A = this chain, B = another copy of it.
Amino acid sequence: MKPELAGVKALTFDVFGTVVDWRGSIAREVRAFAQEKKLRVNASKFADAWRSGYRPAMNRVANGELPWTKIDVLHRMILDEVLLKFRVTALSEAEKVQLNRVWHRLKPWPDTVRGLKLLKKKFTLSTLSNGNVALLNNMAKNAGLPWDLILSAEIFHHYKPDPEVYLGAADILGLQPQEIMMVAAHKEDLRAAARQGLRTALVLRPNEYGKGRHPDLSPEPAFDINAKDFVDLAAQLGI
Contact = CB atoms under 8 A, between A and B. Distances in A.
Given A172-B154, A174-B72, A137 B148 contact: yes
Nearest to A124: B137
Given A72-B174, A174-B132, A137 B155 contact: no
A184 B135 CA distance: 26
A134 interface: yes
A96 interface: no
Given A133-B172, A141-B148, 17 more contacts: A124-B137, A124-B141, A132-B172, A133-B149, A133-B173, A133-B174, A134-B173, A134-B175, A137-B149, A137-B173, A138-B174, A147-B149, A149-B149, A149-B150, A150-B150, A154-B172, A155-B172
A150 B155 CA distance: 12
16 contacts: A124-B137, A132-B174, A133-B149, A133-B173, A134-B173, A134-B174, A137-B148, A137-B173, A138-B174, A141-B148, A147-B149, A148-B150, A149-B149, A154-B172, A155-B155, A155-B172
A140 interface: yes
A140 B120 CA distance: 13
Interface residues of A, number: 20
Contacts of A134: 172-175
Contacts of A150: 148-150
Nearest to A101: B174
Contacts of A140: 148
Nearest to A172: B133
Nearest to A135: B174
A160 to B, nearest CB: 18
Nearest to A70: B174
Interface string A116-141: 00000000100000001111011011
